[in-house]
Structure 1
Amino acid sequence: MLLPAWASSNGGIPEQINQGPLEVLGCWFSLCAAESFFACPSSCKCNNSSLEVDCSGLGLSSIPSDIPTNTRTFLFLNNKLSTLPGPVFSNLSALQRLDLSNNFLDQLPQTIFSDLGNLTELQLRNNSIRTLDKDLLQHTALLRQLDLSINGLAQIPSGIFDDLPALRSLSLRSNRLQSLDRVTFEPLVSLQQLQVGDNPWECDCNLRDFKHWMEWFSYRGGKIDQLACTLPKELRGKDMRMVPMEMFNYCSQLEDENSSIVLDNPGPPCTKGSPTPSKTKSGPEPEVEPSVVCPQKQRYRPVSVRRAIGTVIIAGVVCGIVCIMMVVAAAYGCIYASLMAKYHRELKKRQPLMGDTEGEHEEQKQISSVA
């Protein structure tokens, strides 16, 4: 009978053997199975109690293939990972926390997280991710924390957060986002913290509806950092929540104009740059239908905001001038009234003197007539 490695060095049989060979062999096999069940990958650090595998800062360009299947936390920070094969996490269904921050990922396969049904925290901070598939997170319903900061995201696809009712914290800081759609964030009923700072926000009509959602999110107790406008220049550095809604009154007018253009031009959609029919030299020329002119879609430009601000400034200046003129007219009237009152007082003082001189002249006339 072969003895296990923990047998006594002097060749003696341990006391457990006396209790029964089957029991001893069962303990030995269970010990070997436990050790193989959580075998740490080479060069990585593992914690058997928390079932954590840490492969951070090793300069690796690929995920190790021998990660234990019962791993709950996998850390892969500060490496050189640039691509993720589709089935790389297929055997890690027990994974709860995944951190791939500070790598060189530029895109994520659509099904990369489809087998991680128990995932609660996903860290993708400081990569080069430019686009996200709308079905990327559809199998991670237990996700509570998602960090997509410091990437190259220019837009967030609608529907990507539809299957995340438990998400509480979301970070989109330091990307290239210019606008967001409120419909994308409405399914996040458990969201408590949202970070959207350090993005080139364009505070125009495209961001108006998201402004409404931010105000509602703050009203129900959610925490959101400053969404500072980059454009237009008049609003640069100002928090979008502090911009008055009157600045976006022109948006409704533009929407009405666009809808009227669509109603006035029924028929097949036009295409830009459609090739013109070539003319043939022989034969009668076919009648060419008038080309459908594509109406240029009006873009919500910040110039309308500048016009609104200019109108307010001009109205203020005109009102100020009118007020000054009214004050000047009132002052002139007061001065004129005081001068006229003074003139009348002087006139009343002179009236008795003028009456005495006339009496003296009459007496002199009577004396001269008597003489």
Structure 2
Amino acid sequence: MQAECPRQPPFNCSCTLDNVVWDTSRLYLIPIITVDCSGLGLTELPGVLPSNTTSLLVKENQISDLRPLVNNEHYRHVADIFLDDNLVESVAVLEGSPWLFNFRVFSLRGNRLSQLPTYALDNALERNRHVVDIFLGNNPWQCDCLFTPSFQVNTEEG
């Protein structure tokens, strides 16, 4: 795990083994790994993550591009991503991606989101059985007559 941890500059991340779970179908142990790259001034997501990374913390950086979640194999099983206090302006690139249909926690607090493609969010929430939380607070939302009603439907508690 430590050999795969993104440590080459500018990625001075830390990797921790949080848990180990038994895979009953294959009869072996699976490590549960968290990678923390918070507060490093990063402008992009790490290109490589340890196998079995399930949580990624990249808070307080300068990241704006979410494409690695779509087209980088290392992000396939990352269930919890915390991108708080970055420069993300849009999540549209995630529409239809396998990651959007499998994540558990997606935190984008304190970014630059002003609009949210609610059709993509509707679709993901309907198809993703794993969603626990989506955090979108402290963004400069542009709440006009077109955006607000559909956004409110997604934020109301059921």
TM-score by length of 1: 0.32
Do 2:90 and 2:113's aligned partners in 1 also have CA atoms closer than 8 Å? yes
RMSD of equivalent CA atoms = 3.2
Secondary structure of the structure 1 residue equivalent to 2:93: coil
Equivalent residue letter for 1:53 = V
Which of these residues, 102, 109, 120, is aligned with residue 125 of structure 1?
Answer: 109
Do 1:70 and 1:92's aligned partners in 2 also have CA atoms closer than 8 Å? no
**Structure 1: distance between partners of 2:96 and 2:73:** 8
Do 1:130 and 1:151's aligned partners in 2 also have CA atoms closer than 8 Å? yes
Secondary structure of the structure 1 residue equivalent to 2:106: strand
Say yes or no: does 1:83 pair with 2:65: yes
Q: Relative to structure 1, is the Cα distance of residues 157 and 101 closer, same or farther in structure 2, using a 3 angstrom cutoff?
A: farther
Do 1:74 and 1:98's aligned partners in 2 also have CA atoms closer than 8 Å? yes
Q: State the shift of 1:183 in Å.
A: 8.2
Q: State the shift of 1:83 in Å.
A: 2.4
1:83-133 deviation per Cα after TM superposition (whole angstroms, max 9, x unaligned): 222635544232221100000111123326722243211110000111222
Secondary structure of the structure 2 residue equivalent to 1:138: helix
Say yes or no: does 1:102 pair with 2:85: yes
Equivalent residue letter for 1:184 = V
Do 1:114 and 1:137's aligned partners in 2 also have CA atoms closer than 8 Å? no
**Structure 2: distance between partners of 1:118 and 1:129:** 22
Q: Relative to structure 1, is the Cα distance of residues 136 and 180 closer, same or farther in structure 2, using a 3 angstrom cutoff?
A: closer
Q: State the shift of 1:152 in Å.
A: 1.9
Within 5 A, what are the aligned runs for 1:1-371?
A: 35=1, 39-42=4-7, 43-49=12-18, 50-85=32-67, 87-111=70-94, 114-116=97-99, 117-133=101-117, 134-136=119-121, 138-139=123-124, 141=128, 142-155=130-143, 179-181=148-150, 184-185=153-154, 191=157
Greater per-residue helix proportion: 1
Q: Relative to structure 1, is the Cα distance of residues 80 and 138 closer, same or farther in structure 2, using a 3 angstrom cutoff?
A: same
1:261-284 deviation per Cα after TM superposition (whole angstroms, max 9, x unaligned): xxxxxxxxxxxxxxxxxxxxxxxx
**Structure 1: distance between partners of 2:81 and 2:151:** 28
Q: State the shift of 1:67 in Å.
A: 1.2
- Unaligned 5+ segments in structure 1 are 1-34, 159-176, 193-371
Equivalent residue letter for 1:151 = N
Equivalent residue letter for 2:6 = P
Equivalent residue letter for 2:102 = N
Q: Relative to structure 1, is the Cα distance of residues 85 and 181 closer, same or farther in structure 2, using a 3 angstrom cutoff?
A: closer
**Structure 1: distance between partners of 2:154 and 2:42:** 35
Larger relative CO (CA 8 A, sep 6+): 1 or 2?
Answer: 2
TM-score by length of 2: 0.69
Equivalent residue letter for 1:138 = N
Which one is further off, 47-56 or 120-129? Answer: 47-56
Bigger Rg, structure 1 or 2: 1
Q: Relative to structure 1, is the Cα distance of residues 128 and 84 closer, same or farther in structure 2, using a 3 angstrom cutoff?
A: same
Equivalent residue letter for 1:148 = L
Equivalent residue letter for 1:58 = L
Indicate the percent of aligned positions where both proteins have the same amino acid: 23
Aligned residues between the structures: 135
- Unaligned 5+ segments in structure 2 are 19-31
Equivalent residue letter for 1:127 = N
**Structure 1: distance between partners of 2:17 and 2:93:** 31
Equivalent residue letter for 1:47 = T
Greater per-residue strand proportion: 2
**Structure 2: distance between partners of 1:59 and 1:182:** 31
